[in-house]
Amino acid sequence: MANDTAIRVADVSKMYKLFDKKTDRIWDALGIGPKRYEEKYALNHLDFEIKKGETVGIIGTNGAGKSTLLKIITGVVYPTEGDVEINGKISALLELGAGFNYEYTGLENVYLNGLMTGLTRKQVDEKLDAVLEFADIGKYIYQPVKSYSSGMFVRLAFAVAINVDPDILIVDEALSVGDVFFQAKCYRKFEEFKRLGKTILFVSHDLSTITRYCDRAILLNKGHMLSEGTPKDMVDLYKKVLAGAADVEDIEAGGDIKKTNQKNGILTEAKTDDSWKSHFKINPMVDEYGDGSAKIVDFGIFDDKGMVTDTIHKGSNFTIRSKVKFMKEVQDPIFTYAFKNIQGVSITGTNTMYEGILTGTAEEGDEYVAEFSQEMNLQGGEYLLSISCTGYAQGEFKVYYRLYDVISVTVVSMQDTVGFYDMFSKTQVTKNGKSL
pLDDT in tens, 133-182: 988 899 999 999 999 887 888 888 888 888 888 899 998 876 665 666 77
Lowest mean pLDDT among 82-91, 234-243, 326-335, 402-411: 234-243
Does 316 score more than 90 pLDDT? yes
Q: State the pLDDT confidence band at 98, using cuts at 50, 70 and 90.
A: low
Residues 6+ apart with CB under 8 A from 232: 211
Summarize the confidence of residues 383-401 as an average pLDDT.
Answer: 93
Looking at the chain, which residues constitute the CATH 2.70.50.60 domain(s)?
277-412
| 411 close to 378: Cβ distance less than 8 angstroms | yes
| 415 close to 423: Cβ distance less than 8 angstroms | no
Return the CATH number of the domain spanning residue range 5-88+167-239: 3.40.50.300
Higher pLDDT, 233 or 81: 81
Q: State the pLDDT confidence band at 223, using cuts at 50, 70 and 90.
A: very high
User: 3-state DSSP call for residue 315?
Assistant: coil
pLDDT for 97: 57
Lowest mean pLDDT among 198-202, 262-266, 311-315, 326-330: 262-266
pLDDT for 91: 85
pLDDT for 166: 87
Summarize the confidence of residues 406-426 as an average pLDDT.
Answer: 84
- Could you name the CATH architecture of 277-412? Distorted Sandwich (2.70)
Lowest mean pLDDT among 22-31, 94-103, 181-190, 308-317: 94-103
Q: State the pLDDT confidence band at 269, using cuts at 50, 70 and 90.
A: very low
Burial of 127 from C-beta contacts in 10 A (0-12 / 13-18 / 19+): middle
Neighbours of 230 (CB within 10 A): 13
| 168 close to 201: Cβ distance less than 8 angstroms | yes
Looking at the chain, which residues constitute the CATH 3.40.50.300 domain(s)?
5-88+167-239
Percent of the chain whose predicted confidence (pLDDT) is above 90: 49
* φ, ψ of residue 4 in degrees (nearest 5): -90, 5
pLDDT for 52: 93
